[in-house]
Amino acid sequence: MTSRTPPRVFRGPAAAGPGSARIHAWEAFRGWEILFLVAFLVTIVFVVIDGDTEVATKVVAIVLLTVCATAYLAVGRPVIKGDEYDLRSGLVYAGFVVVAFVPATIIVPASSFALFALCPQAFMLLPPRWALGAVLTLNISPAVRFLVRPDLDLAGVLTFIATSAMSLTVALVFGPWITRIIHQSADRADLIDELSASRAEIERLSRERGALAERERLAGEIHDTLAQGFTSIIMLIQAAEAQADPSRHLALAVRTARENLEEARGLIAALSPAPLDGSTLDEALRRITARLGEELGMPASFATEGASRALPPGIEVVLIRAAQEGLANVRKHAAASSAGVRLEYGEHEVVLRVRDDGSGFGGPATTTGYGLRAMRSRVEQAGGTLEVDSAPGRGTELTVRLPHEECLQ
């Protein structure tokens, strides 16, 4: 059943978030209708066996109680089960009950047992304050019979007081309590709806963020592999054009093109970078360092410090990419006469240093190019830091520090 949202006066027990489909709180307890039926049948039985009342009076009382039951079936029950709260119909039903039930209890006191059915209905159909007023009216109005029947003995008065006290206690204690519970449940249902909507929004934003991060990662991979490889090929071909014997530069260009092709295949297959295929991290760094020396015709050294060991694949990938980017910058910008790569295995971190004795640069250790920014982002995502130390005329040193899983255990 859809949510019940009454007018401003009263928020029905089943009120829930917009668009939700929930069973009405009262309807969840189908035993209520069994209680109503039993209460009316027991009341009829007590009226029939009342030995102090004439048959004609009993018939009138039974007719009046039947009016209450009929009004419930025709007006009250549809309001309780309805999708939309209808205060006017609830008041109409309450009016039928007061008009029919109060005279029945005045002429036959045993009719008051129907209060066990009528009092809960007041809280189901009316706002809390109105329901309390209806309950008080139903319980106190029968006292009118003391005015019209002054011959009642003490036992009759005590019976009336006891019955009314029990009914009022049950109605005034349990009615508001149950209503508050239902309101709190409805509030929690609203909160659950809001949380569900928030979770869906967070999932959507996470997917978008994941897609953006993946695009950035792919852009970095393409820059660190294909773009750098093509740059090297272009430079080698240009150098070959300027040489009388271009064979060495062309051979390097062919080898670089083949390695670039392997990088492209590795990128497409989402495998480890091609420089690591079938080799250790040290071997891969030594190879790409030596290739730079061959391309530029200058000394390019690689060294390690500490005990070499296998690192997590993600750490090795970051180190390879950082070395490639650092050496690419040496190739494109440094105008250096020598370069070196050093890998230091520490107890708590691994450090990669790429240095050259080129022209260097001044100002903050950042550039407007994509490569250094992408490298810094990649290093920070791995939990590390990137430092660039450079000054005009004294070269540049790039330092990458990365923790690895062995150090964190």
Q: Is the pLDDT of residue 206 over 60?
A: yes
pLDDT digits (tens, 9 = 90+) for 168-205: 676 667 667 766 776 777 778 788 888 888 888 887 77
- In the three-class reduction of DSSP (H, G, I as helix; E, B as strand; rest coil), residue 31 is classed as helix
The band of 344, judged by pLDDT with boundaries at 50, 70 and 90, is very high
Give the up-direction half-sphere exposure of residue 32: CA atoms within 13 A in the CB hemisphere.
Answer: 20
* DSSP assignment letter at 354: E
pLDDT digits (tens, 9 = 90+) for 209-239: 766 766 676 666 666 666 666 777 777 777 7
Give the up-direction half-sphere exposure of residue 401: CA atoms within 13 A in the CB hemisphere.
Answer: 8
Q: By mean pLDDT, which of 16-20, 22-26, 90-94 is the weakest?
A: 16-20
Pull the structure tokens for residue 404. Answer: 């690895």
Q: Is the pLDDT of residue 259 over 70?
A: yes
C-alpha–C-alpha distance, residues 188 and 198, integer Å: 15
Average pLDDT estimate for 96-111: 84
Question: In the predicted model, what is the mean pLDDT of the chain?
Answer: 75
pLDDT digits (tens, 9 = 90+) for 278-312: 578 899 899 888 888 887 888 999 999 988 888 88
The band of 350, judged by pLDDT with boundaries at 50, 70 and 90, is very high
Question: CA dist 121 to 24, 79, 314, Å?
Answer: 14, 11, 67
Give the pLDDT of residue 369: 58
Give the pLDDT of residue 13: 42
C-alpha–C-alpha distance, residues 127 and 193, integer Å: 25
CATH fold of 213-272+280-408 reads: Heat Shock Protein 90 (3.30.565)
Better-scored residue on pLDDT, 352 or 260: 352
Give the pLDDT of residue 159: 66
